[in-house]
Amino acid sequence: MENNISLTLKVWRQNGPKDKGRFETYKLDKVSTDSSFLEMMDILNEQLVNEGKEPVAFDHDCREGICGMCSLYINGRPHGPDDDVTTCQLHMRKFKDGETITIEPWRSAGFPVIKDLIVNRNAFDTIIAAGGYTSVSTGGVPDANAIPIPKVDADEAMDAASCIGCGACVATCKNGSAMLFVSAKVSHLALLPQGKVEAARRAKNMVAKMDELGFGNCTNTGACEVECPKGVSISNIARLNREFLKAKLAD
Amino acid sequence: MSTIFGSSIGRKLLMSLSGLFLVTFLIVHLSINLLLLVPDGGETFNIAANFMALPLIKYGLQPVLFGGFIIHIIYASILTLQNNKARGNAKYASGNNTKDVMWASKNMYVLGITVTAFLVVHIVDFFVPLQITHGAASVTYDGVEMHNTYALVNAALSEAWRVALYVVGSLGLTIHLTHGFWSAFQTLGFSNNIWRKRWTVIGIAFAWIIGLGFAAIAILQFAFYQ
C-alpha cells in the first residue's frame, strides 16, 4: 500500500562561498514514504526545474551508504532523525504528514559552504594525505593465516575502517573537532601489522595537519559517536591520544 | 617534546593532568573537612588543618596547587576560544537534537566558571584570614599555638545564605566532575570500550561522593554544630 505525505521544506540556499545565504521555503505534495530522502530532494528539484527555478545543489554519489558523499543537517541532526544511516539511506517514512523539515549544510569553520547544501570537505583529504596510508604497497589480501592477527584487533580495525569520511562528526561537534575521523583513520592502520610500522609518524602528522586546518579540540562529549552513520566508537579517540602521546614522548 | 603542548592533544593533556591533580586536592580537602564532624569542639579538625601552616606545605605545595588551578583555568579558556572559532560563526537554525550526550560534557566551561566564582568566595572566607592576614583567632593545644580554624568555619556556616551558596558550589563541582573525571582518562589514552564504561561509573560515583560530602558537612555544621 502506498502512503503519501505532504511536506514543507526549509532549505538553505547560498549562491556561492561569499554569498550570505538564506532559507527558502518549498511545499511538496504527495511524497511516497517509501522514497529515500535524496529521492525526495530529486522530486523537489524536478518541481523547481519545471517552475523555471534553479535546483538545490546537494552532494550525493553511491546512494547505498558507503561512499561518504551525502551530507545534510536535517532537523537538528547530521544525516537526519534515523540512527546509524547516511542521508541517502534515510527514508521518508521517518517523517510525518504535514511536517516541516529544515535542511542545512554541515556548518563548521573547517567545512566552508560551496553552494546551497554542498560544503568543501577537502580538509579531510588533506589530513589523509598527511599520513593516512602505508608508504609501501603491502600487496593484495594475504592468505588467511599468513600474518596472525588477534580477532579483537581485526574486528576493531575493521570497525574503525568503516569510517566513510562524511564529516558528520565535525558537523555535530560543539567544538568543530575532527578527532573521530582522524582517530578512525589512525586506528585502523595502527591496529594491523602493515600499518603499525609508521604508526608514530602517522599520528603526529595527521594530528598536526588537523590542528593546522583549524579543527577544534575534542572535549569528549561523544556527540560524534552518536551521529556517526557507521557507529565509529570514541574508543578510537582514546587510541589516537595514546598513539600521539606515545610518539611525542618517544621523540 | 618541544611541540607537544602546541598540539591540540598536548593542550588537552595539560587539562587532563591538572584536572586529576586538582582531584587529589579535593580528596585531601574532603578528608580534612570530615573531621569537622568530630564532636570535640574542633580540636581534631584544628590540629589536622594546622598542617597547612607547615613551611613545606605553605611555601612548597601551595604554589604548586595554585599553579594547578591556573593551568586548568587558562587552558580551559584557550581551548574554549579555539573551539568556538572552529565551530564557526554560522549556527544551525534547526538547533541540535543529538540524543545521549551528557549535559555536563557540553557545559564544562560554564560549570568551571561557577566553580571558580565559588572558589573566590571560599578563598575570601577562609584562605585569606588563615594564610594571609592571619585575622583568625588562635587556640593552644598542648602548648602549640595555632589558628582556631574550627571557630572560623563554624561561624561562617552559621549563616544560612552562605550554607546555601556552599551547597550550590558543591553541586556545580559535582556536575563538572561527572564529565571531567572520565574525560581526563580518555585524554590520557587510558580508555577503551570496556574502561570507558568503568571510568564513567567510577567518575560519576566519585563526583557525587565529593559533592554531597562537602554539601552535607556544610549543612550538618549549620544544623547541629551551632
Does residue B10 contact residue A248 with C-beta atoms inside 8 Å? yes
CATH fourth-level superfamily of A4-114: Beta-grasp domain (3.10.20.30)
> Starting from the edge strand earliest in sequence, which strands make up the sheet with A100-104, in order?
A22-32, A4-13, A100-104, A73-74, A77-78
Cell (9 digits) for A100: 516541516
Residue A233 CB contacts under 8 Å (≥ 6 apart), including other chains: A159, A225, B193
Angle at B59 between CA B53 and CA B61, to 5 degrees: 90
Q: Has the ipTM of the complex gone over 0.90?
A: yes
In the 8-state DSSP scheme, what is residue A53? P
A32 in reach of chain B (CB within 8 A): no
Give me the residue spans of the domains in chain A: 4-114, 122-250
Cell (9 digits) for A251: 621523540
Below-70 pLDDT ranges, chain A: 1-2
pLDDT for the residue numbered A144:
82
CB contacts < 8 A (A, B):
150
Q: Please, how many CA atoms are within 13 Å of residue B97, restricted to the half-sphere of its CB?
A: 14
What is the second-level CATH architecture of the domain A122-250? Orthogonal Bundle (1.10)
Does residue B201 contact residue B195 with C-beta atoms inside 8 Å? no
> Mean pLDDT per 10-residue run, chain B (226 residues)?
82 97 97 95 94 89 96 97 95 94 96 96 94 91 93 96 96 97 97 95 98 97 94
pLDDT for the residue numbered A2:
67
Residues in chain A, overall count: 251
The residue whose grid cell reads 580508555 is B191
pLDDT for the residue numbered B1:
45
Please indicate whether, in this complex, the C-beta atoms of B196 and A238 are within 8 angstroms of each other: yes
Between CA A247 and CA A208 the distance in angstroms is 13
Please indicate whether, in this complex, the C-beta atoms of A219 and B83 are within 8 angstroms of each other: yes
Q: What is the pLDDT of residues A105-154, one digit of tens each?
A: 999 999 999 999 999 999 999 999 999 999 999 888 888 888 899 999 99
Question: Within 10 A of B155 (CB to CB), how many other CB atoms are there?
Answer: 14
Between CA B207 and CA B179 the distance in angstroms is 9
**Which among B1, B79, B98 has CB closest to A248?**
B1
pLDDT for the residue numbered B3:
77
Interface test with B, best of A9, A174, A179, A251 (most B CBs within 10 A): A174
Q: Roughly how many angstroms between the first and final C-alpha of chain A, as a whole number?
A: 65
C-alpha distances in Å from residue B26, one per residue of B32, B38, B67, B76, B216: 10, 20, 15, 19, 15
